Amino acid sequence: MQQLPVMESVKDAIGYTMSNITLLVKASIFWVAIYTVLVGIFDFSGGDAYLQLIDDFFENAAPTNAEEQYAAFMLFIEQLSDMGALVNWVYLVMIVVGILAYYSIAIAWHRACLLDEVPPLVRLGKLEFKYFGYSILLAVVLYVIFVAIGAVIGVALAMLSTDASLAAIYPVIGMLTILLFLAFGRFTLVFPGIAVRDRRMSFRTSWAATQGNSWRILGGTILCILPALVISLIASLISAVSLPLVISLPIMMILQLLSGAFLLSFMSICYQFLVPSPDEGDLA
């Protein structure tokens, strides 16, 4: 059982990302350009007012009864509809483009890290949709497990119906969350495996390959998030400045892609270190 060298892996992940910014630019420039055009249309169609409606809805969403929540939600939908079809459709397309951009760049970045492949100007095919499908499947499975275990714990604490038992639910939920993050880390090697067309990779293979490294992967992920937090702070400062949407939103997209690149690099390094090198025929 190999032990992942956490600090060295994190250092390599950050170093690789920062020294290969040009590759990241090449992998993302098409998507950023498309997104910028869409933001320009969105801004021209009343995007500022549209986003303000969304912010106001979530800021004013207070715990109320189901009937009042439903009424508030329907009013919110009506207000968005009154903004016009164009701004609604453009906003939806912006979200879709953002999702496609992430998965396209994720595949390109994994392949650059593991195969030294220069990213194409744009890539979108079966690999990207397989990567997307696996990520959705993993999210659903972990969510169902979280809800199921949480429901069992909630029922048990409710049956005890004491102040001490009710107070105990919060650390229990915290521990459950940590366990889910540990499980998530052990499944993530499937994603760089998908990117390089490794026929062997599955959630089961990823789980087996990461045995004994749950905390190491979680710790490395947290360390890779630190530079992402700095980038997020910069993005927050940009959003606080009154810049046109056509400037601020693309900049924020670029910063988010850079943040994600650190984690993608770390996932690739974990895959390279923990998974045995493929034999002839293992790669599609």
Print the domain residue range for 267.
Answer: 6-45+84-274
Contact 123, 108 (CB under 8 A): yes
What is the domain count for the chain?
A: 1
| 70 domain residue, yes or no | no
What's the pLDDT score for residue 59? 78
Reference 20, options 12, 31, 10, 30; nearest CA is 12
pTM (2 decimals)? 0.85
Reference 210, options 197, 223, 191; nearest CA is 191
What's the pLDDT score for residue 206? 92
| Residue 241 DSSP symbol | S
| 72 domain residue, yes or no | no
| Residue 283 DSSP symbol | B
| 65 domain residue, yes or no | no
| 18 domain residue, yes or no | yes
What's the pLDDT score for residue 284? 63
Sign of torsion, CA 102 262 269 118? positive
Q: How far apart are CA 25 and CA 37, in angstroms?
A: 17
Classified as helix, coil or strand, 198 is strand
| 186 domain residue, yes or no | yes
What's the pLDDT score for residue 268? 95
pLDDT tens, the chain, 284 aa long: 688 999 999 999 999 999 999 999 999 999 999 999 999 999 988 888 888 888 888 877 665 666 777 787 888 888 888 888 899 999 999 999 999 999 999 999 999 999 999 988 888 888 899 999 999 999 998 888 877 777 776 666 666 655 555 566 667 677 778 888 888 999 999 999 999 999 888 999 999 999 999 999 999 999 988 877 777 777 777 666 777 888 888 888 888 888 889 999 999 999 999 988 777 666 66
| 123 domain residue, yes or no | yes
| 59 domain residue, yes or no | no
What's the pLDDT score for residue 152? 72
| 64 domain residue, yes or no | no
Scanning the structure block, which residue is given the tokens 């492949």? 117
